[in-house]
Amino acid sequence: MNYTKIEELLIHFIKKQAGDKNLILGLSGGIDSALVAHLCKKAVGEKLFALLIPTKHSKKENLNDALMLCKDLQIHHKIIYIDEILYAYEKICQDLNPLRFGNLAARVRMSLLYDYSALHQALVVGTSNKSELMLGYGTIYGDLACAFNPLATLYKSEVFELAKLMGVHENFIQKAPSADLWPNQSDESELGYKYEVLDEVLKALENNQSLEKFDEKLKNLVLKRVQDNAFKRRLPTTPKDTI
């Protein structure tokens, strides 16, 4: 792939979507949001704002990396700890398991992003890549909510390549992918496979190619996730869709 051309196209896309508005995104300390920050900074310059929204469970290195990125790119930013908000949910929601807690955290973060988007007359920029979107690895009305999403056509393995080309700091590239929703959480431990392995199946699926060469367990996992989470990729059903 011509990643130099992809960079140019994505910067143009962001400029077009932004128009005369500011942009805001959540910086997690992961590679996806770091790459989007680089692209947005090149596209809109000083009109970019970031929220860093950790919890007590968030890794310190992720916050430090996000702060480093803001300093290096000169991005206006604010840190908001959301533990008190989540504690209020914990008091009224019984038996919160890690998945429910993670979804709540993702939706609280998105609520804050949209609140600050109103404050700064800004559009919320998404940071989910194509692999996550196809697998449904995200929280509906949480991290999947945005005005537009620059990485939606890039698989996770391609995100890494573009990040290297654009000079994203090595800390983000070497770090194990994680939504950082609870202690020691990682994407690949939850999914059971590395993204480069999952991406091969997703690419074959997208291109209507045979999946016979793939391990049965891997193939079935991907097919099930893509099917079960298809609702996350669609707009809500309305009466005109059924009448």
Q: Which residues are annotated as a binding site?
A: 26-33, 107, 127, 132, 156, 178
Q: What average pLDDT does the segment 123-141 reach?
A: 96
Tell me how far apart the alpha carbons of residues 163 and 166 are, in angstroms, rounded to a whole number: 5
Contact 131, 137 (CB under 8 A): yes
Q: Which residues are annotated as a binding site for deamido-NAD(+)?
A: 107
Assess contact for 202 and 208: CB atoms under 8 A.
Answer: no
pLDDT higher than threshold 90 for residue 71: yes
Q: What is the pLDDT of residue 140?
A: 94
This prediction has a pTM of 0.93
Torsion of CA 98, 197, 228, 131, to 10 degrees: 80
Q: Which residues are annotated as a binding site for Mg(2+)?
A: 32, 132
For residue 69, the Cα-to-chain-centroid distance in whole angstroms is 17
Going by the annotation, the residues of the binding site for ATP are 26-33, 127, 156, 178
> Is residue 176 pLDDT above 90, yes or no?
no
Read off the amino acid at residue 66: A
226: number of Cβ within 10 Å? 18
Q: What is the mean pLDDT of residues 29-39?
A: 97
Helices and strands in the chain, H and E counts: 11, 4
The pLDDT score that the predictor gives to residue 236 is 84
Res. 179: pLDDT tops 80: no
